[in-house]
Chains A and B, each alone.
Chain A
Amino acid sequence: MSASNVRSAYWTGVRHGAPFVLVIMPFGLLFGVVGTEAGLNIAEVMGFSILVIAGAAQFTAVQLMVDQAPTMLVLATALAVNLRMAMYSAALTPHLGGAPLWQRALAAYFLVDQTYALAQARYESRPEMSLGERLAYYAGSITPVCPMWYVATLAGALAGQAIPPEFALDFAVPITFLAMVAPALRTLAHVAAVGTSVAVALTLAFLPYQAGVLIAGLVAMMVGAQVELRMGNRE
């Protein structure tokens, strides 16, 4: 492994991560705005984006906090949204498992949807990459994505209070989540999971503090897995 290979792997990562700025920027801005409108101060909004660094879970937590849900339910539901990251972690372990603990911990902190997708695709297409090159590529892909998340959140939080209700920002979160779900409807199992999730959530909407969300999520997950099992793993 030469230093120049590592350097070029880093810059390849930066190039591949750059287009995601277009997704991260509006999403981060929106979190800053929605969090501020919900009544969080700037430090709290930034605390979410820096300590949690997971957009969908952050929106989920804020939504439930506005609905006065108990702390345990806020945590359980938001963490359920993040469970997919255990799958990412498992998928990257064969490629990054040889790195020292502190590097794996750092990689784990920055393991977001975009960096996972890039790294997984790159490592599979280039099995000859050295560990150093893999880590450099990963660090490169983080460089445009994660700092943009912090900056966009801050910008949104600063702008937040200035946005009037006519802009119907209440609906920004549903639209964003639907936009994340729609491209994932690739198989019958995914469609079945979404259908179950919606049906159970609406049926259980009478439960206090949105407790139905967590139940619907777990049931839908099981339905998705069952359908996949019956259909054979068809993409």
Chain B
Amino acid sequence: MTQSSLEIWTIIGLLGIGTFLIRFSFLGMIGERPLPDWLLRHLRYTPVAVLPALVAPMVVWPQATGGETDPARMLAALATLGVGHVTKNVLAAIAAGAVTLYGMLFLLG
């Protein structure tokens, strides 16, 4: 990371304010104004829309291997998704991913 301390604190501060404003958005208003359906429909998909986009390049071209596709990391990602989908349990999914990653790194060297 090459950002200056000022840049880092600017990001932390603005991200903190922005996140608070998102959380406060409707709670902050007086009275009950329900969100329009179309907006709710889009907001519902924010986690499944943004997080995979962030993760996909890290899984396919990991920085730790210089961008070379790595079977251990690929299998760990699949194990995490599979166990998470079946068990609906975040911790079990993380454990499955970690065990697969370390197991494969050990086996494949």
Residues of A at the B interface (CB closer than 8 Å) are 22-23, 26, 38-40, 44, 47-48, 51-54, 56-57, 60-61, 63, 65-66, 68, 71, 74-75, 77-90, 92-94, 96-97, 101, 104-105, 107-109, 111, 165, 168, 170-185, 189-190, 193-194, 196-198, 200-202, 205, 210, 212-213, 216-225, 228-229
Contact = CB atoms under 8 A, between A and B. Distances in A.
Interface in B61-94: 61-64, 73, 76-77, 80-85, 87-91, 93-94
Interface string B8-23: 1111111110111011
Given A84-B46, A189-B45, A47 B12 contact: yes
B1 A65 contact: yes
Contact of B8 (A65, A107, A168): A65
Contact of A193 (B45, B81, B98): B45
A81 B27 contact: no
Contact of B85 (A175, A185, A221): A185
A193 B48 contact: yes
A82 B22 CA distance: 7
Contacts of B88: 183
Contact-residue bracket for chain B: 35 or more
B12 A51 contact: yes
Nearest to B16: A51
B43 interface: yes
B15 A79 contact: yes
A109 B56 contact: no
Given A44-B12, A104-B28, A178-B55, A171 B49 contact: no
B23 to A, nearest CB: 4
B29 A170 contact: no
B80 A198 contact: no
Interface in B1-60: 1-3, 5, 7-16, 18-20, 22-35, 38, 40-60
